[in-house]
Amino acid sequence: MKFNISNCELVSFFLTLVFCFFISTSSDEFLDCLSQTISSDNIVFTPNDTSYSPLLQSTIQNLRFNTTTTPKPLAIITPLSYSHVQSTVICGVKSRLNIRTRSGGHDYEGLSYTSFDHAPFIILDLNQLRSVSVDSQAKTAWVESGATLGELYYWVSQKSNLLGFPAGECTSVGVGGHISGGGYGMMARKYGLSADNVIDALLVDVKGRILDRDSMGEDLFWAIRGGGGASFGVVLSWKINLVYVPPIVTVSSVSKSLDEDATRLVYKWQQIAHNITEDLFINLIITPVQATDQENSSMQVTINSLFLGTVEEFMKTVSDGFPELGLQQKDCTEMSWIESVVYYSIYFKGQNIETLIERRPQPKSYFKVKSDYVKNAIPEEALGEIFKWCLKENVMLAMEPHGGKMSEIDETATPYPHREGNLYIIQYIIVWDDVGFISTQKNVASIRRIYEKMAPYVSKNPREAYVNFRDLDIGTNCYACSTCYVQAMKWGTRYFKGNFKKLAMVKGVVDPKNFFRNEQSIPPLVLSQSY
């Protein structure tokens, strides 16, 4: 019998065999290496273990990356001690297996738990490294990267009702990923980003050493506070400055339709929200409300406020600074700061504060997110058109103000450069329930069309984006090329502007062979000695 096999088919077959052999060899080498230092059956999970799939899926938030075709890790490591992390890194380097570090699983593009280049990898899941140690006298805390924001908030509040921490509203987000990308939240205008309030850290580097701020040096300490910790090592724990919160804060959440002059309110909000007192944070959630009768479909604008003070003070501030809102005292509620965390957490509103530490399973969905920064107010007429586009494409907008402390911090102080001159950040969000490739393609195309149409109204040269709102559309790395840094500038300058070069130079010093890498990790830039 004669077989007609082309040279290309032979090469493809050969490469497949080599790749499979490499995966098998590397996996065996890694597990053998790890077994010499880690003996617990409750730490290492492979696809043969019944706990593997539930563990892998436990914190996957975006169902786009939880399909049968999604690349899976060769193993999941759930360290119980820092030495387990060290061993994982050392064995990963030795066996040439890429490590994806996961703290909360909220990476919008799934980079903490999958690989798009199909290279073999393991997941280092920091879920069990979640302690929070609070020193209320010094107003500091050490928090491990596997803790959630909700756990951090809760344990701080248990020590003092006058201390808090500026970070995000989504309480199931992992501390590690949030802080290493900057960490924006409802007290950012008062106290800056989470990363602006970090004073020390513990990191395992590519050599398996545990480094603190002194031993890692100021350049690396700078890089992990906004440049993405997973590019430089594994951040185990963060020492943070806690901030003052008053015993009473005031919250308000008011929704208005376009028929209620919501477009004019959004236009006015653009001129006020970044300039008003730092004690007041006002964001906008603009949502399509689809009716059976298309003519009755509309966009709804929800105005959420957090005021660090009493309702009387809040009402006076709004009456003086934003009277167009027409806020009434019945729209406002006084509570403690930790209660406001629950109030604005997506799934826990109306429940007690203990829900913050219960790690309850939360609803999951398919979604895609993109981001922009706005430096000049969008005209009212243009806002009307934008809302029509979003209604048609079923895209939600979240607008959060800058200004205040955010504008006072120099754009080179941390890798997060989006400081003075930014009015607000926009998050474009599309969510869907239909399973399948066609549905995903359709919805992703919808949000891309909105993003393209928004170009005239947002930042330019570069068109800026927030790294914690990960978006692979703006570019990905090329590993096997001699111009990795140049190619990465396409996305790197949009996240980090002029700070990207310094990040790459730090990477070139601490991880020159690019062991800690993913599709949007910082590439190493190694300068010649003449520099």
Specify whether the CB–CB gap between 384 and 263 falls below 8 A: yes
Note the pLDDT tens digit of each residue in 439-458: 999 999 999 999 999 999 99
Q: What pLDDT is attached to residue 292?
A: 72
pLDDT cut 70: percent of the chain above it: 94
CATH number assigned to the domain with residue range 249-332+365-454, chosen from the 4 options 3.30.43.10, 1.10.4160.10, 3.40.462.20, 3.30.420.40: 3.40.462.20
Q: What pLDDT is attached to residue 42?
A: 87
For CATH 3.30.43.10, the residue range(s) in the chain are 7-125
For CATH 3.30.465.10, the residue range(s) in the chain are 132-244
Q: What pLDDT is attached to residue 39?
A: 76
Q: What pLDDT is attached to residue 117?
A: 82
CATH architecture, domain defined by 132-244: 2-Layer Sandwich (3.30)
Q: What pLDDT is attached to residue 484?
A: 87
Q: Which residue has the tokens 């944070």?
A: 281
Note the pLDDT tens digit of each residue in 416-426: 999 999 999 99
Q: What pLDDT is attached to residue 16?
A: 45
Nearest Cα to Cα of residue 523 among 471, 473, 488, 474: 488
| Mean pLDDT, rounded, for 305-326 | 96
Q: Report strand pairing: 140-144 vs 132-135.
A: antiparallel
For CATH 3.40.462.20, the residue range(s) in the chain are 249-332+365-454
Residues 227 and 516: their CA atoms lie apart, in Å, by 13
Distances (CA, A) of 302 to 65, 105, 153, 252, 315: 30, 27, 25, 10, 18
| Mean pLDDT, rounded, for 75-103 | 96
Query: Sorting pLDDT into bands at 50, 70 and 90, what band is 10?
Result: very low
Residue 121 has pLDDT above 70, yes or no: yes
Q: What pLDDT is attached to residue 26?
A: 80
Residues 86 and 82: their CA atoms lie apart, in Å, by 6
Q: Report strand pairing: 44-45 vs 280-289.
A: unpaired
Q: What pLDDT is attached to residue 480?
A: 61
Read off the pTM: 0.93
Q: Which residues pair with 240 in a beta bridge?
A: 141, 198
| Mean pLDDT, rounded, for 145-168 | 98
Between 260 and 179, whose confidence is greater?
A: 179
Query: Sorting pLDDT into bands at 50, 70 and 90, what band is 228?
Result: confident
Specify whether the CB–CB gap between 196 and 208 falls below 8 A: no
| Average pLDDT in the chain | 92
Q: Which residue has the tokens 């593997």?
A: 52
Q: In one letter, which amino acid is 50?
A: T
Query: Fold for domain 7-125?
Result: 3.30.43
Q: What pLDDT is attached to residue 392?
A: 95
- What are the residues whose beta carbons fall under 8 Å from the beta carbon of 510, sequence distance 6 or more? 205, 206, 216, 220, 232, 233
Q: What pLDDT is attached to residue 362?
A: 84
Q: Which of 32-46, 166-180, 392-406, 418-432 has the lowest mean pLDDT?
A: 32-46
Q: What pLDDT is attached to residue 481?
A: 60
| Mean pLDDT, rounded, for 334-353 | 93
Residues 474 and 491: their CA atoms lie apart, in Å, by 5
